[in-house]
Structure 1
Amino acid sequence: MGALHRVLTTAVCAATVALTGCTSLARDEPAPTAAPPTQRAPDPATTVLSPADAEELQAVLDQVVSRYAAIPDAEVAARGVTAAIVSDQWSWSGAAGADATGTKLTPVTSLGIASVTKTFVAAEVLLLARAGKLDLDAPLTQYVRHRLTANNATVRQHLSMTSGVPDYGPGDYATLDRALGAAPGRHWTAEQALSHVSTPISRPGTYDYSNPSYVLLGQLIEKVTGQPLATVLRRDLAQPAGLPRIAFQDGEKPRPPIARTRNPVCGPAFDGFLPCRAIASAEAANGGATADAPTVARWGYQLYGGRVLPPELVTTMTAGDGDYGLGTRRFSLRFGNSPAYGHDGNFPDHCSILVAIPERRVAIAVLVAEGNKNAGAIASDLVTAALPLLG
């Protein structure tokens, strides 16, 4: 597993939600094939959860760090973790532990959110389609000419991971690591990142998780808008959703305080990006964003609550035949007996998960200051503790 590798195992974080669970719902119940119609959620609450009620939530994070002291390699153990919950009744955020340099984390510490970035890219593509600037069912090659679009997979198929475009393989990540490590402070273009995909494309139609599909979708957004990806995502999504502390790298830098990393590709110097500019730019559209936990939770509440996209577009985004919609995980075990949506992300440096439960008007974010950890299990424990407080 290379130092850059992060999403060949990205399904780990989502799968652990199904494995750990937090309700008595039967585990073999299939995911629904159509999302229920989305209703616009009320404003997120401005009331902060009382300290007495927050103790049980904070205890979940403290236990993660306590386990790390005893068994550092345990999946539900980490040197540091932050989390937040946003609902229509109250909000909460917490932190425990430290980053890779030993700096104490706070609830507003910025970490890499990895593939949670895909929820922004997918939402933007849906907005552009609604505005008539692209057709979801047209071949992506109509807008982006590349050898990876030559199989005529549609924009919708790229969004749903059924494009036939393979993910980077282990050998691809190894060569990419070496190239990025040669100049960790350099900006990488999407074309340069995609040049490291060595596996041939196949016929579209079968689900296969693909980071290159989202690199191509980032190119699509820039092509039809004529503007940089970071500019478009901030204008159309971050500003309307009230997310000043998200950063779309490398068009933007993370907002301090920042959880530092020790990525061997990047070397010892910190250039202001997470983990460094080369990786941040190569991963811009499929995993390059950074944020704090309250920002991610607020985004999940706003997005899946129909407050950023029109409700009918959220229904489109969350629909599907399996566990993946359009840039959205459809978690197979439902939290609190209600459907849950969101995304997970995994870098060697940081692991993340966003879980939104629209019927309960709540969203949960967990950001871990370490890679390959069970963020899903932490989210599950937080949901178990939070649901009784939601009435």
Structure 2
Amino acid sequence: MRTYGRLLQQPSTALSLIAALIGAVPIGMWPLGIVLAVLDRHGSAGEAGLLAAAFGIGNAVGVVTQGALLARVRAALLLPLFSLLGPVAAVLLAGDARIAGAVLAGLAIPAITPAVRGRFASSVPGRDRPGAYALVNVLFQAGIALGPIAAAALATAGRVGLVPPIAAAGGVLAALLLAVAHRGGAAGGVAPVGRVPGRGVLVLLGGAAAAGFGIGTLQVLVPLRTGAATSGATFAVLALAEVAGAVLLGGRVGPRHAFRLLALGSGGMALVYLLLLVGAPAVPAAVALGLATGTQSLGSALGLDRFVAPARIPTVFALQVALLIVAAAVGSLVAGAVPGVAYAAPALLLAAAAGATTAVRRRLGPLAPSRPAHAR
């Protein structure tokens, strides 16, 4: 826990983490608020699904676009500009241009987490970097969980119309906090190692896509097979276990453990999906899956440091997030079409990801500790 204490004592690091938490809330708040608003005015389920999908498309495009621009434009300028699209989206959603408003709401989500990841890769010492990435992951998950709770509470109070402006305000606030945190220059970089960066990045992207596909199958099959109450408990346990896994490992591992964590996490997830395929209970499986997912995500974060220059990390991380979103949608489609064997697909994909990670690790050979850029 000393790692986390050192991190939180740094004002810019603590402010970046707060921005990551606040910036994740609109991601969970916007889509549920959009759906609840449709139902509140007695719209159809089809319209609700269309608007939710439009938001998802806008979010995927927005995070990739911002991630690419972060390599060229300062986050302190770029993210506030994107966040200002949020109030415009809120106005459109209140009128007749709701599809355009939903897409714009997705675009307006500032890419806080990719920006923070890139910043930490160059400003946090190597020994504390796993803990920093674990905190980013935990706060990101917490923000996404808080978003739907806030949207549902406002809808229950008869104030569903306040969801879009509050979500938009949250995005603007998070972007401004990050601008303050990043007003200074970076402290250095991480030296990527080895000579297979292209293949290594593909492995990281493939692992994210495989994990996203699995999430998509769960979103359909767990409610279908267990009912509303158990499915809610399952996803809550999954999120808590993922947070626990990331926190426990973040203070105990170093950057050289990146590939081992990634392979173990992907392999563990594959095993859990195989157990679900043969009828394992959902809630205990969610515990194991959450721990494995936390392990994989931490390994992936450290792997980015090994393959990608700090200035390019936001771009690649944003692409990972977008792939996860798209793969989750594909996983949901597959689960709806062939529910009887859908768990086999993520098991195979994640096993392949674990194998590819092991192959890249062997090709690179032993990894030396990462060094700051100024030491090269």
TM-score by length of 1: 0.27
- Higher helix proportion (structure 1 or 2): 2
Higher relative contact order (CA 8 A, sep 6+): 1
- Higher strand proportion (structure 1 or 2): 1
